[in-house]
Amino acid sequence: MFTGTVVQLVRAVLRDAGLGQEGLPAGHRDLELMSGGVDASTFLVHRAAGDVVVKLEGTGLEAESGALRAWSSHSHHVPDVLGFGRLAQAGCAEPVPYLVLEVLRDHAGGVAPTASELLEATPDLGSRIGEALGAELCRLHEAVHHEGFGNFGDSPGAERTYDSWGAYLSDYLGLHRDFVTATGVSDRRLRLALDALRDTSYDDAPRLLHGDVSVRNLAVYQRDPLAVGLFDPNPLGGDPSWDLAPVANKAALGDELCRRGGESGSAATDAAVWSGLQAAYGALPDGRMVAAQLVQAVLQAEARHHGRGDGDLGEREVAVADDFVRELVDRLVR
């Protein structure tokens, strides 16, 4: 149940996007919250002229809209952008950013489930989901981000662009230097790691990357043959390894947790998704993968430290993530 204010805001957004003529939600029954993430809120909006998805208030919605539009000529499986803008609101100092998207549907006409939901019900589809994800990433990575390397649009950090991917990664890790040394990496080895990140040879052209590749952001349009598409990007320009790294890291962390006797219900599925992805995408040189994996492993380990004590995130998960950071530094700096 939503307050009248949310309904009014969604109606104003649709008018601002030029979709007012096509019918507006009448009341709270016409809105369904799809997620209220830390950042954005996503609503499924029922209208006489057809449902749409409205995302509100996030940072990064402008970048998301730019990436989805750029990918529309490479893949049929990204949602169409029906509107993006910023709406001035009485009582709000800043206008509220919004994004209106086509609803992703499955073949039966329902809202497409995510691959994460499908895998919970059918874990043995891991390898096929990974292959389909790899094929979709190949299509998305055809798009070049001509503005250069790094974040763009209204994403945090977009005020700086980089002339190389190595400079971006090295700068990024440098921002987390205190955390990395706290995991037991010496200052000297950290300096060598920063140099190695900068000096590794990457793809010359900045590819338009998704930036948040996960089975949670993968819609399943069709089961047989399997058809999937990525949505909810946190896009940036850079080396393709960045989009493979989260899947590689999830598999590695799950595997290590199991080896230490911890509970990771999805470890076998995560490993299957990763091997399917590699089979379909093709392997990237180890140095490029390790570079991307290291920076993402640091972010993940930091998140685990912050989430310590929450729910079922135990000390073992925290230790596995810290050890993985050290292992990746060792692989990068031989």
Ligand X SMILES: Nc1ncnc2c1ncn2[C@@H]1O[C@H](COP(=O)(O)OP(=O)(O)O)[C@@H](O)[C@H]1O
Sites of contact with ligand X (CB under 6 A)? 34-35, 37, 39-40, 42, 53, 79, 101, 103-104, 111-112, 114, 216-217, 231-232
- From ligand X, Mg ion, none, which one binds at residue 79 (CB under 5 to 8 Å depending on kind)? ligand X
- Choose from ligand X, Mg ion, none: what does 53 bind? Cβ within 5-8 Å by kind: ligand X
CA–CA distance, 61 with 42 (Å, rounded to integer) = 12
* Token reading at 286: 């180890």
Query: Can you tell me whether residue 68 is helix, strand or coil?
Result: helix
Which residue of 62, 232, 239, 317 would you call a contact of Mg ion, by CB under 5 A? 232
Query: CA-to-CA distance for 26 and 38, rounded, in angstroms?
Result: 27
Token reading at 275: 């091997």
CA 132 remoteness from chain centre? 17
Rounded-to-integer distance, Cα 24 and Cα 21, Å: 8
The Cα–Cα gap between 32 and 276 comes to 34
As measured in angstroms, the least distance from the Cβ of 163 to ligand X is 30
Nearer to Mg ion, 170 or 217 (CB): 217
The phi and psi torsions of 4 (rounded to 5 degrees) equal -55, -30
Collapsing DSSP states into helix, strand and coil, what is residue 275?
helix
Smaller CB distance to ligand X: residue 179 or 221? 221
Please, which residue, 196 or 208, has the CB nearer to Mg ion? Answer: 208
186 binds, among ligand X, Mg ion, none (CB under 5 to 8 A by kind): none
Task: Report in angstroms how near the CB of residue 38 gets to Mg ion at its nearest.
Answer: 11
Binding status of residue 217 toward Mg ion by CB under 5 A: yes
Q: Which is nearer to ligand X, 232 or 270 (CB)?
A: 232
Residues forming beta bridges with residue 15, ordered by sequence position = none
Q: Check residue 73 and report its DSSP letter.
A: T
Quick one: what does residue 274 bind among Mg ion, ligand X, none, with the CB cut-off 5 to 8 Å set by partner type? none
* Residues 88-127 contacting Mg ion, CB under 5 A: none
CA distance 116 to 217: 8
Residue 115 CB, nearest distance to ligand X (Å)?
Answer: 10
Q: How far is the CB of 139 from ligand X (least distance, A)?
A: 18
Tokens read off for 44: 């499924």
Name which of 208 and 218 has its Cβ closer to ligand X.
Answer: 218
Q: Where are the strands (E) in 37-191, listed by range?
A: 41-45, 52-56, 81-87, 96-101, 150-151
Cβ contacts of 13 within 8 Å, gap of 6 or more = 54, 56, 83, 85, 87, 96, 98, 100
In angstroms, what is the minimal distance from the CB of 116 to ligand X?
Answer: 8
Q: Which does 98 bind (CB under 5 to 8 A by kind): ligand X, Mg ion, none?
A: none
Size of the site for Mg ion (CB under 5 A): 2
**Nearest to 218, CA basis, from 210, 227, 209, 230:** 230
**Are the CB atoms for 70 and 60 separated by under 8 Å?**
no
Using Cβ positions, the residue closest to Mg ion within the complex turns out to be: 232
Question: Residue 101 or 253: which CB sits closer to ligand X?
Answer: 101
Nearest CB to Mg ion, comparing residues 126 and 233: 233
Q: Which does 308 bind (CB under 5 to 8 A by kind): ligand X, Mg ion, none?
A: none
Q: Which tokens belong to 301? A: 């380990």
Q: How far is the CB of 59 from ligand X (least distance, A)?
A: 11
Q: Binds 111, which of ligand X, Mg ion, none (CB < 5 to 8 A, cut-off by type)?
A: ligand X
Closest to Mg ion by CB, 232 vs 243, is 232
Peptide bond into 225 cis (omega under 30): yes
- Where does this chain bind Mg ion (CB under 5 A)? 217, 232
